[in-house]
Structure 1
C-alpha cells in the first residue's frame, strides 16, 4: 500500500499544527464559529446532534494493521471505544471532545493518516473497488490511479471552495464494485484492442435529494490525460455550478441543466488550455505510483492443499456457508479474499469496537500480510489469505463474532448512523436495521432469497445509499413523527438504477412486516435462478404495491 514520502508527511504534520492553532484560537473566542466552520470541515470535523464527529480518511479503502491498531487506540482514549466504517470507506468517531481533535489528528499523522478533505465543499476521499489489485476479473489495478488523484486533489488551491462536495470513484475490473455511476465523477479503466489503457469518464451521478445516474462525458480518454481532463471537469463545475441554493449545487444539477453535450463542449473548451500541460502524466509518474503497490511475497499453495480445502468445504456445512458468502476469488491460485462481517445486532452496521480492531489487526498480520480493506457495504476484507489457512481464520472469526456468513444477503444491511447521532436525520435508522436482522435471521431463508441489497438512510442526504438498494428504506419526518418510505429496484453496479417509491410511508413498527410482504411477492413470482432485481424488473412495481397496501 502507499507509504508517505517526506513531502506527504511534512504536509500532514503542518496541517495538524495549523489546525491546532485554529482550534486554540476558536476555543479562546478569537476565531468565531462562522470563520472556524469551513476550517474544521476541511479537517473532517462536524458538529453533530449530541457531540462533534470526526471523519478519518482511508484513501481508496486501504488500511494497514498498524493503522487499524492506532484507530483502536484513538477510540479508547478519545471516544467511546468504537468507530463507524462508512459507505465511502472512511471511519467516523461519533463522540470526540472538540478540544481533543488536534491530538487525534497528531496521533493519526504518526501512522500516515489524516482527516483532510473528508468534509467541506472540496474533492473528498477517492474511493475504489475493495478488491482492487487482487480481483480475478481485474483489467487494471485502480489503486495507483487513485493515489495520483489523491495527490492532485489534496489541498488543490483552486478547488478548496467548490459549490458543494465532490466525490470521485474509480473501477478497474470487469464488474463495477465502486458504484461509479452514482458519483460526481466516475472513472472506468479499460484496454482497447491494441492493449492501450483508456479511461471512461462519467459525470453528474449522485444520490441525495435529487438522485441521478451519471452520463458518459468521454468514452476513451488516454491515460496520460487523466488529471488534466479531471481538472477541466471540476473547473467547469466550479465556474458554472450553482451557489445560490445548496440543494441545487451538485454537479449532477449542472449536467442535467446543460445537457451532457453542452457540458462536454464546455469541458473540452477548458481542457484545450490544460491538455499536454505540466499535469500530463508520463510513464515515470505512473510507474512511481505503481511501485507503492508491490505484490506481497506469497508462498506457493500446493494442489494438495487446494484439494484439502475443497474437501473440508464439502464436509463442514458451517464452514462451507462462510466460504460461499464471505470468501471471494483471488487472481492468484490458492489465495482468497475474506470479508469480515460488521453486521451484528448488538452493534450498528459498520461499527467495530477497539478490541475488535486490535484482534483484526492481529489476524491481518497472521493471515494477510498486514493489509486490510474497507468495503462500501461497511465490512472489512483480508485481501490475501492462503486457502490452507482459511479454516483456522474462520474459527478465529467465529470466536470474535465476525464470521456471520451473510455477506451479500438481505442481512448484510447498509445503514447510516441516522437520528441516533446525526443532526440532519429525520428518523433513526439503526433500530430499523436491528429489527430487520432479528426478523430475517434464518440462514436458509436468506440463502433462498439469493443476493439482495437492503439499504437504509435516515434522511434525504442518502448516506445509506437507499436509492440504489434493491430494497431501500428512507426515514422521513411527518409533523414531527418518524415514518419510513420504501423503494424497490435500485442497483449500484453496472446496470445501475434508482429505486422507485412503493407508495405512502409506514410507521417504524410496521417496516419489518412490509419488507416481509415485499419478499413474499418475490418468492412467489420469481423464475428459476432469478435475482430479486431481475424479478422486479420483469413484473414491475404493481404486484409489490398491491400486496403491501392490500
Structure 2
C-alpha cells in the first residue's frame, strides 16, 4: 500500500485545520451558505435530504486493517453504526453532525486518510480491478499507475474547477473488471510488438442521464507520456466543455459533439506542447511508486485441490460459497475472497461498525492486514491461504458476510436513493430488498448464473443502472415513485448500454416484473448462455411481450 511521506501528512493535517476554521465560521454565521458550499464539497461533505453525508477517499479501493478499524470507530461514534461502500470504492457516512466533521477528518488524517476530491468538479478517486496485483490474468499491476495518477491529480490547480466531475479507471488484466469503457477516461495497459508497455486510452464514457460507451482515441500511448497525455485531454475538456448547462457538461457530451476523431485531433495538438516536458515519467519515478506495491511475504505453498474437494463434498454450503465468492490467485495455495455486502434485508453496500471491526481482525489473521473495496460495493480479502478458506467461511457466515451471491442476481448494485439522497426521484433500497427476498433461493440463483442487476434512484445513475444486464431507474410520475426497466447493459469488454423495456412500473410490481424477465431468459437460453448472451441473441421483444401481457 502507498504510505504517506512527511509532505503528504503535512498537507492533509493543514487541510483539516483549514476546514475546522471554515466550519466554525459557517456555524457562527460568518460564512454564508453559498460561500461554505464549495469549501465543504472540496472536503467530501454533502448536505443530503436528512443529514450531511461525508464521502471518504479510498484510493483505488485499498485499505489497511488500521484504517478499517478507524472507519468502524467513526461509524460508532459519529454516525448510526454503519458505513456505505460506494461504486467508486469510497466509504460514505450518511449521518454525521456538521460540527463533528472536522474531528472525523482529524481522526482520518491520523491513519493517512482524507475526503479530498471525493466531490466537486474535479478528478475523483481513480478506480481499478479489485483483484489488482493478485489476479491470474494480469498483464501489469495497475496500482502503481493509479497512485501516479492520484498524486498528479490531487490539488492539480488547473483541474480543480472542471466543467463537471471527472472519473478515471485503469485496467491491467486480460478481463476488464474495472469497467473502463464507462469512465471519462479509461486506461488499459497493453504491450506493443516490441514488448514495451503502454496504454490504450478511451475517453467520453459515462452513465448518468446520457449514458455513453467511451471511444478509444489512442491505441498505444507509451507509459512515459501518460501524465502529459492526460493533461492534454483535460485541457481540451476544460477549454471546450460546456459550463452553461450542467446536464451537458460531462466530457462524454463534448466527445460526442466534436466526434471522437476531432476530439482526438485536438488532444494530439495540445499534447505537442506538453510532450517531453516536466511531467514525463521516468523509470526512477515508476520504480519509487511501485515499491509500495510489492508482494506480501507469501509462503511457498501448493494448491490444496484435494483438501478443498473434500471440504466441498462434506459441506454444500461451503462449496457454493467457494464457487461464487472465491477467486483464483496468481500464487499457488492462495485465493482471493469476496465478502458479500448483499445479504437479503441489508441495504446493498452497507457494512456495520461491528462488521468493520471484525473484517479488520480477519484481515490481520488471514490476509496480511489488507482489505479492498470493489466497485460492485463488496469487500475483499485478497491473499487467503486455501487451507484457511473453510475456517474463514465459518467466521464470515457468523458475521453475515458469506452470502454466496457474487455476480448473481441478488448481488445488486444500488445507490442510497430517496431514503437519503436529495436528488433521487425514488427509493432504491426497498426495491433492491424486495427483489433480493423474491430470489432468496440460492439454488435457483445458481441455476440463473451470472446476472448483474443495478438500481439507481435518479438519472445521475450512481447505481450504474445503464450497464446492468437488468437496470432499474427510479422516476417521478406526478409525485409518485415509479421504476423504468432496461435490459442488455454490460460493463466488461464490448460494453453496452441497456435498452428501455417500455412504460415504468409501480414499486410493488417490481419483483413480479423481474421474475417475468428472468422467466423469459430461462425459457429461451441455450446450455451455456448467460442472461446477456440470450438477450443479445433474441432481442428485447420476447421480454416486452411477457412483461406487458398481463397489463393489457
Using structure 1 for the length normalisation, give the TM-score: 0.99
1:240 aligns with 2:201: no
Q: Give the alignment of 1:311-390 within 5 angstroms.
A: 311-390=310-389
1:412 corresponding residue in structure 2:
411
Deviations 1:439-480 (A, max 9, x none): 011111101111000000000000000000000000000100
1:10 corresponding residue in structure 2:
10
Q: Give the alignment of 1:430-509 within 5 angstroms.
A: 430-509=429-508
CA contact (8 A) 1:489 1:533 kept: yes
Rounded to whole Å, the distance in 1 between the matches of 2:306 and 2:516 is 43
CA contact (8 A) 1:108 1:114 kept: yes
- SS of the residue aligned with 1:455? strand
Aligned residues: 549
CA contact (8 A) 1:57 1:114 kept: yes
Q: Give the alignment of 1:190-339 within 5 angstroms.
A: 190-302=190-302, 305-339=304-338
- SS of the residue aligned with 1:272? helix
Rounded to whole Å, the distance in 1 between the matches of 2:307 and 2:531 is 35
Detail structure 1 runs of 4+ shifted over 6 Å in the superposition: none
Rounded to whole Å, the distance in 1 between the matches of 2:87 and 2:459 is 15
1:89 corresponding residue in structure 2:
89
Q: Give the alignment of 1:107-126 within 5 angstroms.
A: 107-126=107-126
2:30 corresponding residue in structure 1:
30
Alpha-carbon shift at residue 30 of structure 1 (Å): 1.3
Rounded to whole Å, the distance in 1 between the matches of 2:300 and 2:260 is 50
Deviations 1:242-261 (A, max 9, x none): 00000000000000000111
Rounded to whole Å, the distance in 1 between the matches of 2:255 and 2:154 is 24
Name structure 2 gaps, 5 residues minimum. none
Greater Cα shift, 327-336 or 22-31: 22-31
Alpha-carbon shift at residue 393 of structure 1 (Å): 0.3
1:53 corresponding residue in structure 2:
53
CA contact (8 A) 1:474 1:485 kept: yes
Alpha-carbon shift at residue 309 of structure 1 (Å): 2.2
- SS of the residue aligned with 2:292? coil
1:186 aligns with 2:186: yes
CA contact (8 A) 2:453 2:471 kept: yes
Rounded to whole Å, the distance in 2 between the matches of 1:337 and 1:518 is 32
Rounded to whole Å, the distance in 1 between the matches of 2:220 and 2:190 is 9
CA contact (8 A) 1:306 1:388 kept: no
Deviations 1:74-95 (A, max 9, x none): 1111111100001110010000
Rounded to whole Å, the distance in 1 between the matches of 2:191 and 2:362 is 36
Rounded to whole Å, the distance in 1 between the matches of 2:547 and 2:269 is 52
1:155 corresponding residue in structure 2:
155
Alpha-carbon shift at residue 547 of structure 1 (Å): 0.4
Alpha-carbon shift at residue 11 of structure 1 (Å): 1.0
Alpha-carbon shift at residue 114 of structure 1 (Å): 0.4
Rounded to whole Å, the distance in 2 between the matches of 1:194 and 1:314 is 48
Deviations 1:468-496 (A, max 9, x none): 00000000001000000000000000120
- SS of the residue aligned with 1:291? helix
Greater Cα shift, 17-26 or 239-248: 17-26
CA contact (8 A) 1:484 1:505 kept: yes
Alpha-carbon shift at residue 205 of structure 1 (Å): 0.4
CA contact (8 A) 1:490 1:496 kept: yes
- SS of the residue aligned with 1:318? helix
CA contact (8 A) 1:185 1:201 kept: yes
Rounded to whole Å, the distance in 1 between the matches of 2:21 and 2:217 is 43
Superposed CA RMSD: 0.8
CA contact (8 A) 2:344 2:440 kept: no
Rounded to whole Å, the distance in 1 between the matches of 2:4 and 2:354 is 27
Alpha-carbon shift at residue 306 of structure 1 (Å): 4.1
Deviations 1:402-430 (A, max 9, x none): 11111110011111100000000000000
Alpha-carbon shift at residue 382 of structure 1 (Å): 0.2
Rounded to whole Å, the distance in 2 between the matches of 1:401 and 1:264 is 48
Name structure 1 gaps, 5 residues minimum. none
- SS of the residue aligned with 2:161? coil
Rounded to whole Å, the distance in 1 between the matches of 2:260 and 2:410 is 38
- SS of the residue aligned with 2:425? coil
- SS of the residue aligned with 1:518? helix
Using structure 2 for the length normalisation, give the TM-score: 0.99
CA contact (8 A) 1:373 1:382 kept: yes
Rounded to whole Å, the distance in 2 between the matches of 1:176 and 1:516 is 29
Alpha-carbon shift at residue 29 of structure 1 (Å): 1.2
